[in-house]
Structure 1
Amino acid sequence: MESTQDELAQPILLPKQYSSSPEPVSSELEEVLSNTDLSYFRRIGSATLIELNILFRLAGPAVVVYLLNNVTSMSTQIFCGHLGNLELAASALGNNGIQIFSYGLMLGMGSAVETLCGQAYGAHKFDMLGVYLQRSTILLTATGIPLMIIYIFSKDLLLLLGESTEIASAAAIFVYGLIPQIFAYATNFPIQKFLQAQSIVFPSAYISAATLCVHLLLSWLAIYKLGLGLLGASLILSLSWWIIVVAQFVYILVSDRCKYTWTGFSLQAFSGLWEFLKLSTASAVMLCLETWYYQILVLIAGLLENAEIALDSLSICMTISGWVFMIAVGFNAAASVRVSNELGAGHPKSASFAVIVVTSTSFIIAVFLAILVMLLRHVMSYVFTGGTTVADAVSDLAPFLAVSIVLNGIQPVLSGVAVGCGWQAFVAYVNVGCYYVVGIPLGSLLGFKFDLGVKVIN
C-alpha cells in the first residue's frame, strides 16, 4: 500500500480556504493524560469523563445506524416467518446463510476506508477522504459482479451443501430479490465509513430511521396485501438499502460539513487501486472470517436431524445475537474512528486510553443484555413465530446465546481497534485459529458425532 501511505505521509499544507475546515482532533485528552501535575487517579478520572463524552457522541448514533439497518433486514425475516415455518427457514437461510456472505465481504473491504479516512482526517488531509471513498466504491462494485453470480446459482449451491430441496428452492427465490442489494452494499459501506471518519453519524441515523418506516410499510403491502411472498419481501429489502445509499450521498453533496472532504469526482480515484485493493482484501478477510463463521453455523444446522426446527431456533437466536452484535459494531466503529484519528493526529496516549474505555463500556452493556436474554428466554421467540415447538428450542439455547452475547461485546471492539491501527492481517490470523481451527470442527464433532444437536453449534 505504498501509494496510500505516501499520500498520508505528504506534508500537511492547508491553504487559507481551509481555515474553516473540519475541526481537528482535540488534544484535550492527550494533555490531561500527559499532565504530571495532576495525581494519577485525577488524571484517569478526568480523562475517562472526556473520553466517555467523545465515545457516546460517536458510538450512540453509530449503534442506532447499525441497529436500524439490521432491523430493516431482520424485519423482512419476521414478516416471512409469519407466513409459515418454511418461509421462516427459507428467509433465515437466505438472509443469514447467503446474504451475510456479501455483507461480510463488502463491510470488510469498506473498512479500508475507515483506516485511511480516519488517519487522513486526523492528519488534516481532508481532500483525500473523497478520493478514498471513490476508490473503495469502484473496487466494491467490481467485487459485486462475481457475488451476483453466486446469488444466481444459490439453489444449486445449497443443494450441493446438503440442504433439502424444499428449503433450498424457497431460499433461492428469496435470494434472487437480494441481487440489487449487493451493489447497494458496494456504495453504502464506503459512504458510511467516509462519514464516520469525520464523526458525522447523526444524519445516517435519521436516514436509517426514516427508511425503516418506509420499509415496514412497503413490506406489509408487498407480502400481505399484494401476495408477492418471498421474492417481494427481498426486493423491498433491496429497495430500502438503495434508499439509504441515495439519501446519504445527497447529504454529502449538500452538507457544509463535507465541503472540504468531498470535492467532486476525481480521476485520482483510479490511481493506486492495487495498493488500495491489498488493504481492502486484508480488511475483508478479517471481517469475512468472522461473519462467514455464523453463516457456516446456519448451513450446518440445516444438515441436522429435524432441520426445519433447528434452522428456525438457531436463526432466531442468531437474529437476537445479531441485534446485540450491532451494538458492539457501533462501538467497533467508534473505536476505529477514535484510534485512527488520534494516531493520525500524533496522540498515542489518547489512542491507547480510548481502547480501554470503549472495550470496558461495550463489555458492561453486553453483560446487561445477556441477563435480559435469560429473563426473557421463554417468550422472545414469539416475536418471530407463534410455534411452541420453536419457542421451547429457543429457550434451551438461551444460556448459550447469553454467553455468546458477552463475548461479542468484546471481540468486535478489539477488531475496531485493529482497523484503526491498520492491523487487519493480524486479526485475520487470530480469527482463523479461533473460528475455523477450533470452533467449527469442535461444534460439528459434538453436534453430529455425540448427537448434541444445535446447542453446541450455537
Structure 2
Amino acid sequence: MAIPLQGKAARQQREDGKGGGQVDAGGDDQPSAAAELRALWSMAAPITALNCVVYLRAMVSVLCLGRLGPLDLAGGALAIGLTNITGHSVLFGLASGLEPLCAQAFGSRNYDLLTLSLQRAMLLLLIAAVPIALLWLNVGPILVALGQDPTISASAAAYAAYALPDLAASTVLQPLRVYLRSQGITKPMAACSAIAVALHVPLNVLLVFGLGFGVRGVAAAQALTNTNMVLFLLAYIKWARACEDTWRGWARPAAVASGLAGLVSLAIPSCVGVCLEWWWYEVVTVLAGYLPNPAATVGAAGVLIQTTSLMYTVPMALAACVSTRVGNELGAGKPRRARMAAIVALGCALVIGVIHVAWTVAFSRQWVRLFTTEASVVRLASAAMPIIGLCELGNCPQTTGCGVLRGTARPAVGARINLLSFYLVGTPVAVYLAFGARAGFRGLWYGLLSAQAACVALVLAAVVWRTDWHVEALRAKKLAGLELATATTTEESKRLVAVNREPPEDV
C-alpha cells in the first residue's frame, strides 16, 4: 500500500524507484482493504482531532460573548454567522480546489506542480479576500438597511472590523493545510492547532475582560489564534525540515499567475459546493424565525446546528483524507488502489452514520440539556434530535463521497449535486412541511433529511457506479504533468513528459 510519506521517508521512496507515475508490479499490486483502512485512519484521526479543536475554539468565543451580555451576544452571534457565510466558507471552499492538484502532484512526484499549486492558492485566496474585507468593513450600514436593530448592527460591525486579520491568516492557513495533508503530514497540524487553541482561552480572557475590548476582543482573539496556527506550522516545517524534499522554493510571479486559471476551474466549483451546503443551515435558522414562538425555535435551531457541526468533524476529516488518498493513488497511476480507498472510506462513513443515529436517539434530551434548560427549547430540540441522527446516516457518506469527487478533480459534480439536493429538494420540502403541512419545527429537519437522502443517492451513483477509475488515472497523469515548464532541468522535463505519456498499468 502506497502511503504518503514525508522527509527522509519520501527521499527513500525516490531512491527505491517507486512512485513518480510508475506502477508497482509485484504482489503489492492487489489492493488490501485492511491496509487501506490503516492508511486512511492514520491521516483521518489527527484531522478529526484538529476539527474538534477548531470546534472548541468557536465554543470558547461563543461562551465569552455570552458573558458580555445579551447585546454583545446578539451582535457577536450575528457577526459570526455573517463572517462564516461571506468569508470563511468561501476561503475554505476555494482552498478545497487545491486538493486534487496537490494530492495527484505528490502521487506522481511532480513536486514543481505541488509547490506552484500552493503559491497559486495563496494568491487566489488573497484576491478573494479583498472584496470580502470591503464587505466586512460595511457590515453596519448593510445590516441596518436590511432592517436589523442599529445597536446590534453596531456590535456586529465592531466584530467584523476586528476580524479582518483573520482573513489574512486564512489565505495562508487553508492552502497550507491542504499542502501538508497531501503529503500525509497530519499529526503536526493537529498538534499545532491544539497549542494555538490552548492559547486561545488566555487570549480571550486578556482581550475581552482584562483589556475590556468586549466583542472586539473576541474577534481579535480568534484572528490571533489562526495567526498562531500559521506561525506554529511554519516553525514546525522549518525545524523538522518536513517538506525539504517537496518544496521547490518561491516561483517567479509570472509562473504563479500563468496557471491561476487552471486552479480557478477547480476552486470555483469546490467553493460553490461547500457554500451551498453550509449556507443551507443559515436558511433553516431564518425559516425557524417565522414559526410560532420564534425565540424557542431559533434557540432550538442553534442547538441542533451546533450539534451537527460537532458531528460533522469526523466525516469532514474522512472526506479530506480520502480526497488525498484517492489523489495520491491516481497520481501514482494506481486506479485499483484509488477505488479501494474510496470504497473503504464510504464504508467507514456508513458506520459513523449508524453511530450518530444510535446516540442521538438514546441521549437526545440529555444532550440538549447540556446547552440549555429552557423547557420550550429542550422540548423542540430533543424531539428533532433523532431526525438529525438520521440525516447523518446520509450526510456522512455524502460528505465522504464529495471528498472522493475532489480527489478525482471533479468538484463540479459535487456542486451540482448539492444545488439539486439542498435547494431543489430540501428547501421546498422543509417549507411545505413546516408551514403548509403545519409540521412546525420538525418539518424543517425533515426537509434536511430529504436533502441528505437525495444527496447521498446521487453521490454514491457518481462515485461508485459512474466512475471509470482507469480513465481517472489517465486524467490524473495529464493534470499532474501540466507544469513541465517549471522543471529545473531539461532532463527533468523529459522525464516528466515520459511519465505523463505512460498509461496506468495497475488496471
| Bin of the TM-score, shorter chain as denominator length | 0.7 to 0.9
The one of 25, 37, 40 aligned to 1:52: 37
The residue aligned with 2:323 is: 336
Q: Deviations over 1:255-290 (max 9, x none)?
A: 322012223221132221122222211221122222
Which stretch of the first structure deviates more once superposed, 303-312 or 159-168? 159-168
- Matched residue, 1:299: 286
What is residue 143 of structure 1 aligned with on the other side? 128
Note the C-alpha offset of 1:69. 1.6
Contact 1:252 1:262 in 2 (8 A): no
Question: Take 2:341 and 2:25, find their aligned partners in 1: how far apart are those partners?
Answer: 11
Give the AA of the match of 2:433.
L
* TM-score (structure 2 length as normaliser): 0.78
Q: 1:370 to 1:229 in 2, by over 3 A?
A: farther
1:8 corresponds to: none
Contact 2:21/2:333 (8 A) holds in 1: no
Alpha-carbon displacement from aligned partner over 1:55-104 (angstroms, at most 9, x marks no partner) = 11111111111221222123212332355566555444333444243222
Matched, 1:285 2:295: no
Q: Quick one: distance in 1 between partners of 2:373 and 2:163?
A: 26
Which stretch shifts more, 196-205 or 212-221?
A: 212-221
Segments of 5+ residues of structure 1 without an aligned counterpart are 1-15, 36-42
Flag the 1:125–1:436 CA change in 2: closer, same or farther, 3 A.
same
**Match of residue 6 from structure 1:** none
Residues 236 and 454 (structure 1), Cα distance of their counterparts in 2 relative to 1, 3 Å cut: farther
Return the alpha-carbon distance in structure 2 between the equivalents of residues 454 and 137 of structure 1: 42
Moved more, 381-390 or 355-364: 381-390
Query: Partners in 2 of 1:153 and 1:406 — Cα distance?
Result: 40
Aligned equivalent of 1:358: 345
Select between 395-404 and 346-355 the one with higher mean Cα deviation: 395-404
Does 1:317 pair with 2:277? no
In structure 1, what is the Cα distance between the partners aligned to 2:144 and 2:36?
A: 51
Q: Is the 8 A contact 1:336 1:416 kept in 2?
A: yes
Deviation at 1:399, TM superposition (A): 1.9
Q: TM-score, normalised by structure 1?
A: 0.85
Matched, 1:182 2:164: no
Q: Deviations over 1:209-238 (max 9, x none)?
A: 111111122223434444433222122112
Give runs of aligned pairs for residues 414-429 of structure 1, distance below 5 A: 414-429=401-416
CA shift at 1:410, angstroms?
1.3
1:335 Cα shift?
A: 0.7
- One-letter code of the match for 1:340? G
**Residue in structure 1 matched with residue 204 of structure 2 by the alignment:** 219
TM superposition shift of 1:363: 1.9
**Structure 2, unaligned stretches of length 5 or more?**
1-10, 446-507
Q: 1:269 to 1:48 in 2, by over 3 A?
A: same
SS where residue 422 of structure 1 aligns? coil
Determine helix, strand or coil for the equivalent of 1:258. coil
User: Aligned residue for 2:258?
Assistant: 271
Verify: 1:95 aligned to 2:95, yes or no.
no
Following superposition, the deviation at residue 28 of structure 1 comes to 10
Identify the match of residue 81 of structure 1 among 49, 66, 76: 66
Partner of 2:497: none
**Aligned with residue 359 of structure 2, among 343, 357, 372:** 372
Q: Is 2:392 the partner of 1:405?
A: yes
1:390 partner letter = V
The answer to whether the aligner puts 1:64 opposite 2:49 as a matched pair is yes
Cα distance in structure 2, aligned partners of 1:262 and 1:281: 26
In 2, the alpha carbon distance for the partners of 1:401 and 1:240 equals 31
Cα 1:305–1:159 change in 2 (3 A) is farther
Corresponding residue to 1:153 among 111, 126, 138? 138
Counterpart position of 1:122:
107
Task: Note the C-alpha offset of 1:116.
Answer: 0.3
Q: 1:393 to 1:354 in 2, by over 3 A?
A: same
**One-letter code of the match for 2:46?**
P
Q: Is 1:293–1:435's contact at 8 Å kept on the other side of the alignment?
A: yes
Counterparts in 2 of 1:147 and 1:414: CA distance versus 1, 3 Å: same
8 A contact 1:298–1:315 mirrored in 2: yes
CA distance in 2, matches of 1:121, 1:260: 11
Q: Which residue of 1 aligns with 2:442?
A: 455
Q: Which residue does the alignment assign to 1:13? A: none
How far off is 1:397 after superposition?
2.5
- Give yes or no for contact 1:80–1:87 (8 Å, CA) kept in 2: yes
2:364 is paired with a residue of what secondary structure?
coil
Say whether the 8 Å CA contact 1:104–1:291 is kept in structure 2. Answer: yes
Tell whether the 8 Å contact from 1:118 to 1:340 is kept in structure 2 after alignment: yes
**Count of equivalent residues:** 433
CA RMSD of aligned residues (A): 3.0
User: Deviation at 1:398?
Assistant: 1.3
Structure 1 contact 85–308 (Cα < 8 Å) conserved: no
Q: In 2, Cα distance between the equivalents of 1:392 and 1:203?
A: 42
Alignment CA distance shift 1:405-1:389 (3 Å)? same
CA contact (8 A) 2:21 2:107 kept: no
1:392 is aligned, of 379, 394, 401, to 379
Q: CA deviation at 1:323?
A: 1.3
- Identify if the C-alpha distance between structure 1 residues 200 and 34 changes in structure 2 by more than 3 Å, giving closer, same or farther: closer
SS at match of 1:379: helix
Q: What residue identity is the alignment partner of 2:331?
A: G
Alpha carbons of structure 1 residues 98 and 448: separation in structure 2 relative to 1, 3 Å: farther
Match of 2:240 among 240, 243, 255: 255
1:437 matches 2:421: no
Identity percentage over the alignment?
A: 27
**Per-residue CA distance 1:31-51 (angstroms, 9 max, x = gap):** 66855xxxxxxx8xxx12111
